């Protein structure tokens, strides 16, 4: 397959330290340029990563006729505007999560997605540990999957960090709460019908720093999760059925380029005697994500998750923010 030529709008940490190092490993991807409103920042990132071209504006990169696809890791409030700008320039777009701040805002991308590919960058769905866990669920290894439970936390008290700025889409639910929502939809293979949340906000930042949620998928199937931005770093994902459970010890920040494992427990004993660790080969989920999108650009494979999937995820986030105010279950709006 001919390499897809990529450009990057923004020098966010996730791009510099995770996504781009992964994508640069691929034989299917050529990262031609990176842009920032600060030309010095773009030049430094380009030099550090070995990217040949640095631009001092997003517009300059989008005007580059050689660039076919754009990776958008900008702060959350810029996801939709810059994705629309890239699409208008004829570029396919892989946009960081959350793709928007509301489902209605995400829906603004529908028209653009008729002409170019637009996808939300949930790299976890490309990782072998998620794919293998779903395979085991589908095979009935743990019986019918009824409960998905996830915990995800980090500790960030920097007032200048974009995650702590409410005015540009900061907070735990947007930043990391989107992952358990994706997990519920991915493993249950369904869309939720209602959701309720309990939210604690930082008195200064006004961002949600501790959010717990219960998401009802109907037919006795549930997702419950807690995410925190001012807690000791920790993450776990459990898939629970009548015959056993599957645990993914590091469901989101799996070590790049290293082997991983999932734990399959027949639950014969509460002391873990029934746990079998299944080792998975070394992989880089950012490389795999970039390759999947590139194959879709070339028409080698269908785009697995497009704009409608991204809108569906945003509907759940919308419902949880409504629930924060109402204190009750809120209906997850139908498509």
Q: Which of 2, 13, 91, 97 is catalytic?
A: 97
How many whole angstroms separate alpha carbon 255 and alpha carbon 261? 11
How many whole angstroms separate alpha carbon 65 and alpha carbon 9? 15
Q: What are the beta bridge partners of residue 200?
A: 210
| Total Cβ atoms within 10 A of residue 138 | 11
Residue of 332, 322, 331 lying closest to 199 (CA atoms): 322
Q: What angle do CA 202, 206, 208 make, to 5 degrees?
A: 65
Contacts with 92 (C-beta within 8 Å, 6 or more apart), sequence order: 68, 69, 70, 116, 117, 118, 293, 297
2 is catalytic: no
Q: Report the relative pairing of strands 69-72 and 4-9 from DSSP bridges.
A: parallel
Active site (catalytic) residues: 97
């Amino acid at each position: 397959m001919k390499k897809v030529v990529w450009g990057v709008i923004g020098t966010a940490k996730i791009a510099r330290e995770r996504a781009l190092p992964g994508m640069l490993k691929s034989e299917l991807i050529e990262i031609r340029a990176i842009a920032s409103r600060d030309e010095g920042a773009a030049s430094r990132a380009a030099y550090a990563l070995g990217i040949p071209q640095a631009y001092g504006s997003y517009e300059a990169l989008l005007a580059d006729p050689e660039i076919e696809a754009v990776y958008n890791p900008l702060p959350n409030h810029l996801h939709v505007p810059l994705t629309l700008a890239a699409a208008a320039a004829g570029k396919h777009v892989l946009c960081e999560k959350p793709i928007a701040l509301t489902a209605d805002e995400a829906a603004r991308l529908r028209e653009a997605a008729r002409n170019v590919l637009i996808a939300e960058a949930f790299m976890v769905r490309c990782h072998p540990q998620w794919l293998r866990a779903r395979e085991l669920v589908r095979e009935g290894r743990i019986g019918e999957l009824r409960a998905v439970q996830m915990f995800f936390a980090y500790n960030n008290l920097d007032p200048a960090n974009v995650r702590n700025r409410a005015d540009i889409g900061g907070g735990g639910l947007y930043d990391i709460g989107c992952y358990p929502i994706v997990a519920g939809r991915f493993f249950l293979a369904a869309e939720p019908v209602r959701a309720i949340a309990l939210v604690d906000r930082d008195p200064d930042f006004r961002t949600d720093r501790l959010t717990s949620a219960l998401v009802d998928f109907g037919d006795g199937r549930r997702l419950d999760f807690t995410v925190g931005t001012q807690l000791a770093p920790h993450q776990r994902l459990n898939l629970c059925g009548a015959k056993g459970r599957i645990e993914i010890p590091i469901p989101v920040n799996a070590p790049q380029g290293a082997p991983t494992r999932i734990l399959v427990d027949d639950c014969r004993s509460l002391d873990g005697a029934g746990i079998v660790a299944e080792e998975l080969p070394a992989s880089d989920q950012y490389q795999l994500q970039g390759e999947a999108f590139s194959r879709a650009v070339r028409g080698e494979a269908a785009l697995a998750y497009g704009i409608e999937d991204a809108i569906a995820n945003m509907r759940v986030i919308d419902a949880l923010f409504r629930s924060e105010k109402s204190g009750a279950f809120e209906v997850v709006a139908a498509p």
